[in-house]
Structure 1
Amino acid sequence: MLRRTILGMGAAIAAAPAFAQQPALDPENTLILELPAGRVTIQLLPDLAPRHVERVKTLARQGFYDNTPFHRVIDGFMAQGGDPTGTGTGGSRLPDLPAEFSPPSRARFVRGTVGAARTQNPNSANSQFFIMFAPAPSLDGQYTIWGRVVGGMEAVDRIKRGDPARNGVVTNPDRIRSARIAADIR
């Protein structure tokens, strides 16, 4: 009897859809990036990083990210943007943010994770961010995770790569055409 029950359960599992229905995104916590290769939808994660999410929303609403470059892009690792100077040393006029690191049990740096870029000082995040092309467990618990790509990862994959000999610095980089909070799009 036990064998039949297990086999019956296996058939039910096999017939189930591969992915459960994802709940609708909260427009107030959804960032839309328009890139040269298409639209990217990022679910903001205020439960993990409330200050960072609030900063991203503030800067997006100010138009800060519009036309900023992906200045450092490393194939198989990540694409970094959010610096209006394009040098990797710039930020907004707002003060730096304290770290909001999540333990790996809550959030990990996997493909599509969006994190806050910073210097060696953990409390130096400002406006820069990076989107992961692949998992990077070495970043888990070391950088703030504030979002995840839920649509348009193919556009992220098409961001122009940088020179590996120059730590991913990109000559004539792709730029964010616009960054908007979904609740503000009419």
Structure 2
Amino acid sequence: MQEILDATQPGDWRALDPANTLYLDLASGRVVMELAPGFAPAHVQNIRTLAKEGYWNGLSINRSQDNFVVQWGDAAEDDKQKKPLGSASAKLPAEFERASKGVKFDRLPDKDGWAPQAGFADGFPAARDPQSGKAWLAHCYGAIGAGRDVAPDSSNGTELYVVTGQSPRQLDRNITVVGRVVQGIELLSVLPRGTGPLGFYEKPEQRTQIKAIRLASEVPENDRVPLELLRTDTPAFTQLVEARRNRRDEWYKRPAGHIDLCNVPLPVRTPKK
């Protein structure tokens, strides 16, 4: 795979848009996340508002469920004690899927067990159904979702989680996916597992405090993390997928001839100065 990456051209890579990039700052470091306004426009706009107004600053990571998710938000159980939302919306429509028309879809060649077609849209792992004309983002490792209650429209982006285990694709089209982690997920995956139901922490001191969650566009340029992502609509990415579908490394004796959507690597690099 490295040979393919070494042969890429500058145009094979794309820079993160600061307006769609979130920084989750912890004492242990920074998690960089890319938002997906093409699939969850209302949620992304609300998340932008929450970040600009410092909603998450001083709140905490409240859940770490083994082989599943890490989740953060307001841990207050009493609604009267919860942090005000400021000018953000308290209620949003469910954004589980969108019309596939107009979505540039880079399709994988293999069958998918969860959807008629799987591939990438705007660089995000995605799936679509030509018969229904719908497309949606997939719950791969690193996916960011908006936690909700039973009602489909009960999420507003204040409670966010990151998939830190085997891809729970059964959640596809059941929760609004708002983006994905592009760097620093190890800071979340190593957190101690919660001992309460569903991996929630039972004591306040077990939680991890959030220093800040900010949009990159609100951060001074010299404090931003310069990252580039390999575009999924390039010959280089097609070569990378094939190299993983059929491993030709000396160690492999039987190429699989198949790759799962969530097993396709999505390279990220720091651009050369």
Report the TM-score, using the length of structure 2 for normalisation. Answer: 0.58
Alpha-carbon distance in 1 for matches of 2:78, 2:70: 12
Alpha-carbon distance in 2 for matches of 1:148, 1:97: 20
Task: Kindly indicate whether structure 1 or structure 2 has the higher relative contact order, using CA contacts under 8 Å at least 6 residues apart.
Answer: 1
User: Residue 167 of structure 1: SS of its match in structure 2?
Assistant: helix
| Partner residue, 1:39 | 30
| Partner residue, 2:4 | 16
| Partner residue, 2:209 | 175
Aligned-residue CA RMSD in angstroms?
2.4
Query: CA offset at residue 112 of structure 1?
Result: 0.5
CA contact under 8 A between 1:30 and 1:181: conserved in structure 2?
Answer: yes
| Partner residue, 2:230 | none
CA contact under 8 A between 2:31 and 2:181: conserved in structure 1?
Answer: yes
User: Residue 110 of structure 1: SS of its match in structure 2?
Assistant: coil
Runs of 4+, deviation exceeding 6 Å? none
Percent identity, please: 32
CA contact under 8 A between 2:18 and 2:215: conserved in structure 1?
Answer: yes
Encode CA deviations 1:67-94: one digit per residue, 9 max, x unaligned.
2111122011001112252x49757543
Alpha-carbon distance in 1 for matches of 2:6, 2:96: 31
| Partner residue, 2:219 | 185
Matched positions, count: 172
Structure 1: where are the runs of 5+ without partners? 1-12
More strand by share: 2
| Partner residue, 1:100 | 95
C-alpha change, 1:167 and 1:84, in structure 2 (3 Å) is closer
CA contact under 8 A between 1:82 and 1:91: conserved in structure 2?
Answer: no
Alpha-carbon distance in 2 for matches of 1:88, 1:148: 30
Structure 2: where are the runs of 5+ without partners? 99-126, 129-135, 221-273
CA contact under 8 A between 2:55 and 2:83: conserved in structure 1?
Answer: no
Report the TM-score, using the length of structure 1 for normalisation. Answer: 0.83
Query: CA offset at residue 167 of structure 1?
Result: 2.1
Alpha-carbon distance in 2 for matches of 1:136, 1:155: 20
Encode CA deviations 1:101-139: one digit per residue, 9 max, x unaligned.
037434110110000000000101121111110210110
Counterpart mapping for 1:1-186 below 5 A? 15-17=3-5, 21-83=12-74, 85=76, 87=77, 92-93=84-85, 94-102=89-97, 104-105=127-128, 106-126=136-156, 127-134=158-165, 135-163=167-195, 165-170=196-201, 171=203, 172=205, 173-186=207-220
Query: CA offset at residue 158 of structure 1?
Result: 2.5
